[in-house]
Amino acid sequence: MNIKQMLFFILLFNLTMLQAMSKKQSVDIVDDWEYNATILSQDTSRKMPTLGMGSIKSMNAPMLRAKKIGLAVGGAKDTNNFLANIENGYLPKLESITYEGQFYNHYFDTGLDGKECKELFCPSYSSAKRKNPFTDKEEYFLSVGLNSGIKEGDFKRKKLNLVVVLDISGSMNGKFNSYYYDKLGNRVTNDEVETKTKMAIAKESIIAMLSHLKDDDRAGVVLFDHNAYRAKPLNLVGNTDKEAIRKHILELEARGGTNWSAGYKEALKLFDEVDLNSSEYENRIIFLTDAMPNRGELSKDKLFGMAKDASKRGIHTTFIGVGVDFNNDLVEYVSKTKGANYFSVHSSKEFSKLLDKEFDYMVTPLVYDLEMKLNNSIYTIEAVYGSPDAKMATGEIMRVNTLFPSHNNGEATKGGVILVKLKKDSNVTDDKNITLDVSYTDVNGKHYSNSQNVKFKNKDVYYDNTGIRKAILISDYVTVMKNWLIDARADCNDVVSWANQQPIEIQKRCLVYPPLRPEYPRLSTWERRSCKLKVSAGYKKFFYLFKKIYMKEMNALNDESLKKELNVINKLLNQTREAPKLKGPVDDWRYRK
C-alpha cells in the first residue's frame, strides 16, 4: 500500500467516524416533558402474525417451548377494590366484585384433557351436575375452557403507542382508604390504618408501568383536573430521558376539579401523528383515576362514549381505579368495550409485582367478538358467570368483546374459564347432545367458527374435572357476596321492610343470580356514598352455614388458593355489630336441612 492509498483510507475512516458521531448525536436522549402547572391546555418488530384456526406462526422464532399460554376474558381483571373496602371498614360497592374478576384470581383446569391445541383459540367444554347445597335442587353446569396454541416462548407483544392519562384533581390528595366525596357527617374513617395518598400510589404505579416499555415503543403522558394538559408527547422511548421523566412524574401535585372527558380527548390528540393502521403497533390509553365517573360519561362525547368510539379506530383503553371509592358501577360497561380491560390498584407494591408478570398480556388483545351459542331445545340458560355481556333471552351463551393472553402454569390457566348454568325442561327425561357454536375474529379481522357437541352424563352428581368444580364454588362465593351487598347497601341507604333479615329468608335468595333480584336496578343510587361495614345477625348465621359448605368443597378440591375467599368469609363472621333490638331473648334460627 502506497502513501496515497494509506491517506485515502485514513480519510475514509475519519469520515465514517464523523458520520457515526453525527448520527449518535441526532438520537441523543431528550427530556420532552412539557407540563407546566401554570399553563392550561388549548382545549378542555414484534409484528403480530396472522393467526388462524389452522395454524400458529411463530411470534418470536426460533425459540420453541412446550408450555402454552391460555386466554382470559377482558374487562375486570381483579377484585382488589372489594378487598380494600372490607379491609378499611367499608361496605364494598356491588360491582367491585365480578365473576370474571374473581376467576382471574385463580388457575383452572380448562378441560383440554391432553388434546393438543394448534390454533389461536381452542374452546374446550366440561359438564357437571350437582344438588344445590341449600335447596337440593338438581343443577346443570357447563364450563368453557379458554385455550390457545401459542407457545409461551413464542409470545411477544406488539410495539406500543402508549398514552398514560393521570387524574391530578384535588380528590387524588385523599388517602387511599377514604371516600373523598362523602357528605359531612357521613364520612367513615379508619384511624387504625395509615396509607399513602391516592396520588402517591398512582405516580408509583405509572413509573412501574413505564419501566416495562422498550426503546422502540412510544410513550406519552396526559394530565387532567378541570382542564387537560399534554405533559409528554408520544415519542420513542429510546429517545427519551427516562430518569428525567420519572422525576417529573414524582413531582406532580393534585389540584382542581375533575374533567375525565377533557383528559381522554387530549390523549386522543396524541395519536394524530401516528399510523393507527400499522400492524406493528398496539395503540393503547391507560387511564388512571380515583374518581367516580357517572352514567353521564356514557354519552358519545364523554369518557366512556369516546373510549367506545376509540376502540373502533383501533385505540384501546385500560382503566385503572385508585382508592376504595373508585366507581366500580361502570366496570360492566368497560367489559363490553372492545379491547378494554380494568384493574384496581390495591397497593403500588402489589401492582408492580403484577406488572412484572403480566404487562405484556395486559396490553395485547388476541381474540375479538367472541360469540358462543347454545343450540338445544331441552336446556335453557339460567345464568352466565364470567361473561359480562351474555344475552340469555336470545339463547346465546355469551358474547365477549375481547380475550387477552393469560398465564398457564403447565396444568391450569389463570382465569381461563367461563361458567354457564343451564335449566333442563322438566318434561324431558333423556339427555341429548348440546351443540355449541362458537365464532370469533383475530386481531387482523379474520373470522373463524367451529361447532362441538356436549352431553351430560347419566349420574346424579359429577364433575368432569376440578376446573368446573372450582368455577362453581367461586361463582357461589361471588353470588353470595353480591346478594349480601345488595341487602346491606339497601339497609344502609334506604328504609327497607326486611332490614332485620332472618336466616331462612337470606338462604332463599343468596344463590339467586344477582341481576334477577328486583332491587338490582336501584344499586346505582345506593352506591353513591360510603357505608360502614356491618354484617346483620341473620347474615352472620348464613355466612357460618356457607363457610361449612365452602370448606367441604375446598377440601375436596385440595386447593390452597381457595383460602383467599375463606379469609373474607372469616373476616365478615368476625365483624363486630351493634346489638340487635329484640324484645327478650329469642331463637331466630329457621334453617332446616
Is 346 in a helix, a strand, or coil?
coil
For residue 501, the model assigns a pLDDT of 61
In degrees to the nearest 10, what's the CA dihedral of 551, 562, 422, 127?
-100
Stretch 346-355: mean pLDDT: 84
**Residue-by-residue DSSP string for 416-430:** -EEEEEEEE-TT--S
Domain of residue 356: give its range: 160-179+193-362
Q: Which of these three, 362, 391, 408, is where a domain ends?
A: 362
Considering the domain architecture, whether residues 348 and 405 belong to the same structural domain is answered as no
For the whole model, what pTM was predicted?
Answer: 0.84
Domain contains 11: no
Residues 117 and 131: their CA atoms lie apart, in Å, by: 33
pLDDT of 33 above 80: yes
**Residue-by-residue DSSP string for 476-542:** HHHHHHHHHHHHHHHHHHS--TTSS--HHHHHHHTTS-GGGSTTGGGHHHHTSS--B----HHHHHH
pLDDT of 240 above 90: yes
SS (H, E, C) 295-320: HHHHCCCCHHHHHHHHHHCCEEEEEE
Please report which confidence band the pLDDT of residue 183 belongs to, taking 50, 70 and 90 as the band edges.
very low
Stretch 69-85: mean pLDDT: 92
Considering the domain architecture, whether residues 130 and 223 belong to the same structural domain is answered as no
Phi-psi region of 584 (alpha: psi -120 to 50; beta: other; left: phi over 0): left
For residue 323, the model assigns a pLDDT of 81
Considering the domain architecture, whether residues 338 and 237 belong to the same structural domain is answered as yes
Give the pLDDT confidence of 545-569 residue by residue, as tens digits: 999 999 999 999 999 999 999 999 9
Considering the domain architecture, whether residues 140 and 224 belong to the same structural domain is answered as no
Domain contains 548: yes
Residues 591 and 593: their CA atoms lie apart, in Å, by: 7
For residue 48, the model assigns a pLDDT of 34
Considering the domain architecture, whether residues 271 and 328 belong to the same structural domain is answered as yes
**3-state percent breakdown (helix, strand, coil) of the chain, nearest 5:** 35, 25, 40
Give the chain's mean pLDDT: 82
In degrees to the nearest 10, what's the CA dihedral of 328, 574, 483, 398?
60
Considering the domain architecture, whether residues 480 and 557 belong to the same structural domain is answered as yes
Considering the domain architecture, whether residues 274 and 343 belong to the same structural domain is answered as yes
pLDDT of 61 above 70: no
Please report which confidence band the pLDDT of residue 510 belongs to, taking 50, 70 and 90 as the band edges.
confident
How far is residue 521 from each of residues 145, 305, 406, 524, measured CA to CA in Å? 31, 21, 33, 7
Considering the domain architecture, whether residues 206 and 148 belong to the same structural domain is answered as no
pLDDT of 351 above 90: no
Domain contains 70: no
93: its cell numbers? 360497592
Q: Decide if 475 contacts 141 (C-beta within 8 A).
A: no
Domain contains 510: yes
Considering the domain architecture, whether residues 119 and 225 belong to the same structural domain is answered as no
pLDDT of 194 above 60: no
177 or 57, higher pLDDT: 177
Number of structural domains in the chain: 3
Considering the domain architecture, whether residues 306 and 250 belong to the same structural domain is answered as yes
| Residue 375: CATH number of its domain | 2.60.40
Considering the domain architecture, whether residues 124 and 225 belong to the same structural domain is answered as no
Query: Rounded to the nearest 10 degrees, what angle do helices 348-362 and 198-210 cross at?
Result: 40
- Tell me which amino acid residue 457 is: K
For residue 276, the model assigns a pLDDT of 92
| Residue 294: CATH number of its domain | 3.40.50.410
Domain contains 226: yes
Stretch 41-46: mean pLDDT: 39
Considering the domain architecture, whether residues 298 and 270 belong to the same structural domain is answered as yes
Domain contains 2: no
